[in-house]
């Protein structure tokens, strides 16, 4: 396990959800969301990573249902490559198939308004991606 916090990211065309591990790398907590504005987003994430002492990034990889990688996965990998080059912090990838769907199902049961659901979906998806990665790391399972 990496010393330092781990930042989980749910990459989307318009927004990127953020989650952060505790210092021991046991739990993931939703952190927030940033607008996806290209290079400015990389700068914003680099600042967050410095402030939170991030030692690794786990980026959701939106694979197709058959496991192949389409345009969205390629965009996520490109983003991860650019983030790692900008910050020097290693980026790992976590299969995120159905993560957003799982979060939306849970939120549908809360009675929360549509606008509020949209505000929390990305950061909760990032937390689920990161928690899944953390659990697999602890259990000795294989992370992509």
Domain ranges within the chain, ordered by starting residue: 5-139
DSSP code at position 22: -
Contact in structure between 62 and 122 (CB atoms under 8 Å): no
The rounded distance, in Å, linking the Cα atoms of 63 and 43 is 26
Class of domain 5-139 (CATH, top level):
alpha beta
pLDDT classification of 1: cutoffs 50, 70, 90: very low
Task: Report the relative pairing of strands 5-11 and 28-35 from DSSP bridges.
Answer: unpaired
Q: What is the mean pLDDT of residues 22-43?
A: 94
Mean pLDDT, all residues of the chain: 88
Task: For residue range 70-96, list pLDDT tens digits in order.
Answer: 899 999 999 999 999 999 999 999 988
The rounded distance, in Å, linking the Cα atoms of 106 and 14 is 22
pTM of the full structure: 0.86
pLDDT classification of 140: cutoffs 50, 70, 90: confident
pLDDT classification of 143: cutoffs 50, 70, 90: low
Q: Which long-range contacts (CB under 8 A, 24 or more apart) does 38-47 make?
A: 41/16, 42/82, 42/83, 42/86, 43/86, 45/7, 45/9, 45/16, 45/83, 45/87, 46/83, 46/86, 46/87
pLDDT classification of 4: cutoffs 50, 70, 90: confident
């Amino acid at each position: 396990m990496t010393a330092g916090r781990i930042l989980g990211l749910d990459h989307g065309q318009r927004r990127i959800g953020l989650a952060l591990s505790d210092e021991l790398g046991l739990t993931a907590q939703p952190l927030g969301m940033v607008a996806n504005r290209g290079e400015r987003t990389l700068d914003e994430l680099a600042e967050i990573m410095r402030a939170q002492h991030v030692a690794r990034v786990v980026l959701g990889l939106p694979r197709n249902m058959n496991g192949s990688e389409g345009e969205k996965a390629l965009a996520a990998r490109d983003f991860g490559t650019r983030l790692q080059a900008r910050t020097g912090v290693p980026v790992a990838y976590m299969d995120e198939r159905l993560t957003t769907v799982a979060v939306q199902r849970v939120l549908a049961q809360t009675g929360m308004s549509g606008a509020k659901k949209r505000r929390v979906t990305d950061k909760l998806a990032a937390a689920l991606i990161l928690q899944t990665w953390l659990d697999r790391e602890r259990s000795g399972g294989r992370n992509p």
